[in-house]
Amino acid sequence: MRNLTELSDEELAMAYINGQYAAFDLLLSRNQSKIFSYILFVVRDRSMADDVFQDTFVKVITKLQQGKYTTSGKFSAWVMRIAHNVIMDIYRDQKSEKIVEATEDNDLSNFGDQALLEQAIEAKFVNDQVLQDVKKMMNLLPTTQREVVYMRFYQQLSFKEIAETTNVSINTALGRMRYALINLRKMAQEHDLMLQLL
């Protein structure tokens, strides 16, 4: 039998389901920083982030114990999807106006190939200084736009992974990115920031 530290996150999750409770401690230690950083970035409040983090892992434990996890995808992506849902539930409960959803006709299929769109977006953020300026401005974006920018550029998730994590279509994820870029450009112009793009 292999040592728990040699197992992947997905194997650890299955080990926990099968009664090896120490596997969860290792899963938590491997993923807590990434998940908490994501939550804190989205909610921008330490106390709320602590609550969301705790609720997220309570749901993770419950779902694992109920056998609602399969090794068909990355464990961390599965946990992020749960964290996203917890955050959205809180915003819905508070009837917060912080969440700005794209319109129904937010279809970017007429913009051309998705690969070209991804390359164009990535090219704008290659320069490190640009990333720093953008990160400062990101705090001013609506939650859904800030979330997609964070997932794409700071967690290197594909638009497919972002769409799955946030329970929206790829076109909606792309649309949120497009609106975020438009808003970031406006902010850069208003504040006379020179964003050096490739």
Q: What's the average model confidence in pLDDT over 78-87? A: 92
- What is the biggest distance separating any 2 CA atoms in the chain, rounded to whole angstroms? 61
50, two tokens: 């602590």
- Tens of pLDDT, residue by residue over 116-132, are 555 555 544 444 556 66
CATH 1.10.10.10 maps onto the chain at 120-197
User: What HEC string does the chain produce?
Assistant: CCCHHHCCHHHHHHHHHCCCCHHHHHHHHHHHHHHHHHHHHHHCCHHHHHHHHHHHHHHHHHHHHCCCCCCCCCHHHHHHHHHHHHHHHHHHHHCCCCCCCCCCCCCCHHHCCHHHHHHHHHHHCCCHHHHHHHHHHHCCCCHHHHHHHHHHHCCCCCHHHHHHHHCCCHHHHHHHHHHHHHHHHHHHHHCCCCCCCC
**The pLDDT value given to residue 190:** 83
Give the separation between CA 135 and CA 184, rounded to whole angstroms. 10
- pLDDT for 163 beyond 70: yes
Q: What's the average model confidence in pLDDT over 141-156? A: 88
The CATH number corresponding to 1-98 among 1.10.3720.10, 1.20.1090.10, 1.10.1740.10, 1.20.120.160 equals: 1.10.1740.10
Q: What's the average model confidence in pLDDT over 48-53? A: 92
147, two tokens: 């979330």
- pLDDT for 34 beyond 80: yes
The CATH number corresponding to 120-197 among 3.65.10.10, 3.30.530.20, 1.10.10.10, 2.40.30.10 equals: 1.10.10.10
